[in-house]
Amino acid sequence: MFSKNAKIFVAGHKGLVGSSIVKKLISLGYKKILKIDKKKLDLRDQNKVLNFFKKQNIDAVINAAGTVGGIAANNKYRAEFIYDNLTIQNNIINACYKNKVKSLIFLGSSSIYPKNTKIPIKEEYLLSGYLEKTNEPYAVAKIAGIKLCESYNYQYGTNYKCLIPCNVYGQNDNYDKQKSHFFPALILKSITAKKKNKKFITLWGSGRARREILHSDDLADACIYFLKKRTKEKIINIGSNFDMTILNYAKLILKEIDYDCEIILDKRKPNGTFRKLLDSSKAKKYGWEPKISLKDGLKSIIKKYS
């Protein structure tokens, strides 16, 4: 569908997913990858975004931009999580339509699905129940982005696809203690404990909440795959088809770094949604599956940050 000379704009190119997308595009031989630093273009500024798109002859957009984080950040910065994400995605999606961009990949999140829903989670379960309170603002913003794409597709015949990934981890993750997702937080805690010879690490909640994780390079692969793929469905789950408890992830990381210490569970802290395993059968039906095992993905990250 796209030649290697197609101009593809990657919004959020310095982030975990965006940087993996750029790396993948380069490896595939795409020659016109459009990137811009947020200091030069504030994606929350509608006029600047529209002017940027008008000056460029963009063929496709992958939107990996946004404000993201774990439970602590979602709870503390609720206003920023809903405002920033709503504004950024609205500006990008609308600018795509106004400037006749052929294709768009919008990245959602598994947090869009109801807190208490059937497992594995199918795409059609969207808006079938109440959201998890700890990340509700972020989830509402992402749902709005999905519905905006859906509305443009319905009214104007655009080709805007929404990929819904599970928790994503990778080489360029956010390891900030206050803002990171659970998996990089576990890696940071474990490596820090080993370096400082601590006798224990502390996990939020009961440790029994289950999470599905996917390497950012696999998500990048999915973004490019579905950018080029013709699909009937416009909302597609992207997962690893495997989950386990947060406590077991912590044990796995400690084993991988060869460190033995106690794991303390702070049950006063929230668990978040108990389980969010996605049904990724639609992605598989179209010929896409993840390639990076948890063991290999974890080893590469520990090697970098140890």
Kindly report the average pLDDT of the chain as a whole number: 94
Residue 179 clears pLDDT 70, i.e. is over it: no
Mean pLDDT of 197-203: 96
To the query of whether residue 138 is one of the catalytic residues in this protein, the response is yes
pTM assigned to the model: 0.95
pLDDT band at residue 175 using 50, 70 and 90 as cut-offs: low
Residue 185 clears pLDDT 90, i.e. is over it: no
The whole-number pLDDT of residue 73 equals 85
Residue 180 clears pLDDT 80, i.e. is over it: no
The whole-number pLDDT of residue 83 equals 98
- The structural domains of the chain, ordered by start, are 7-172+214-239+277-291 (3.40.50.720)
Cα separation, 8 vs 160, whole angstroms: 14
Return the ∠ at Cα 85 (arms to 215 and 115), rounded to 5°: 65
- Choose the catalytic residue: 30, 77, 113, 138: 138
Laid out side by side, the sheet with 235-238 consists of 32-34, 7-11, 60-63, 103-107, 159-165, 235-238
Mean pLDDT of 123-128: 98
169 phi and psi angles, rounded to 5 deg? -135, 165
The whole-number pLDDT of residue 211 equals 96
The whole-number pLDDT of residue 23 equals 97
Please report which residue ranges of the chain form alpha helices under DSSP H: 16-27, 46-55, 71-76, 78-98, 136-156, 182-195, 216-228, 246-256, 281-285, 294-305
Mean pLDDT of 179-204: 90
